[in-house]
Amino acid sequence: MIASMTGFGRAEVTKRGITAAVEVRGVNSRYLDVTTRLPRLLSQREKDIKEIVRSCVNRGNLVISVTLEEESDGGAPLKVNKTAAKAYLKLLNELRKTTKIREKVRLEHLLKFSEVFEAPREEQSDERQWIVVEDALRKALDGFNIMRRNEGSELGKDLERRIRWMSTTVDTIEGLSRARIPEERKRLQERIAQLMGEKSVIDQNRLELEITLLADKLDVTEECVRFRSHTKFFLEAMAGSDSAGRKLNFLVQEINREANTIGSKTNDSEIAHLVVQMKEELEKVREQLQNFE
């Protein structure tokens, strides 16, 4: 099933006092490009997040936003770095003695050094939070993919309708082309007879050869067969389970190639008009395919 590259997914998970909210936004891109917006505590998890995204998405420009909230147990978020505090106290006392300052070192002097306080080690906290974030990320990606598939399904209906119309139109063109060949044969014979004059002798074998060559140039049966083959594979790729955006783009190029050849080989105004209509539809299909993964 084809999927759009545009989508949105959000999930919020709460476990053991930790709440993680993850939003996934995606737009069109030739390749997979993932941008993360993470809390500082999870900055080292960026690679893990991108690996999870790659397992679920093939193409698109994605922005992953993560927010974290943790219930406080009433404790202070910082603790005293005893080693740093003692070192600074010793240093200040040495400075006081060197400069012969009588004033004693007070607490306010030590508080000027930021290293006296430090955050608790976060390794264990990081692991607990990552478990919650990973769960929320996978659920957000599930919602993101559901939205993409739903949009892809709706867009696919429009594409299928256009492709089937083109297949039917090619059948009409092929019928018109076959009907034109006897007419062109008769017109050429009349034109040659007029040019050569009634008393002139016409090499009938040479005339038949030239008419046959002309008929080959006017015949678009081969192009119509290839055109229908490409549209058949196009519809099959749309119905497949794999990501088919690049394949569909390639098939549209081949369909357009056959349409151009058909247009250049025929000199019938009705066929030319139908070819123009097909190319207009192909351009709409090409634009729509820019949304598909």
Instruction: Work out the pLDDT band at 139, boundaries 50, 70, 90.
Output: very high
Query: Mean pLDDT over residues 17-24, rounded?
Result: 93
pLDDT category at 112 given cuts 50, 70, 90 is: confident
Residue 201 pLDDT class (50, 70, 90 cuts): low
pLDDT at site 214: 64
Predicted TM-score (pTM) of this structure? 0.63
What structural domains and CATH numbers belong to the chain? 7-73+121-150 (3.30.230), 79-118 (no CATH), 152-289 (1.20.140)
pLDDT at 162 over 90: yes
Q: Which run of H or E residues covers position 176?
A: helix 123-196
**202 pLDDT more than 50:** yes
Residue 245 burial (C-beta neighbours within 10 Å; 0-12, 13-18, 19+):
buried
Distances (CA, A) of 100 to 20, 67, 95, 112: 56, 53, 8, 21
Q: What is the DSSP letter of 218?
A: H
* Residues 70-108 pLDDT 10s: 876 555 557 788 888 899 888 888 888 888 888 888 888
- Nearest-angstrom CA–CA distance, 172 and 179: 11
pLDDT-based confidence at residue 43 (cuts at 50, 70, 90): confident
Q: Which two tokens stand for residue 150?
A: 């739903």
- In terms of average pLDDT, the best of 49-53, 66-70, 82-86, 111-115 is 49-53
pLDDT over threshold 80, residue 213:
no
In the chain, what is the straight-line distance between the N-terminal and C-terminal CA atoms, in Å?
10
Higher pLDDT, 125 or 239: 239
Q: What is the pLDDT of residue 76?
A: 57
What is the tens place of the pLDDT at every residue in 234-254? 998 888 767 677 888 899 999
| Relative orientation angle of helices 123-196 and 204-218, to the nearest 10 degrees | 160
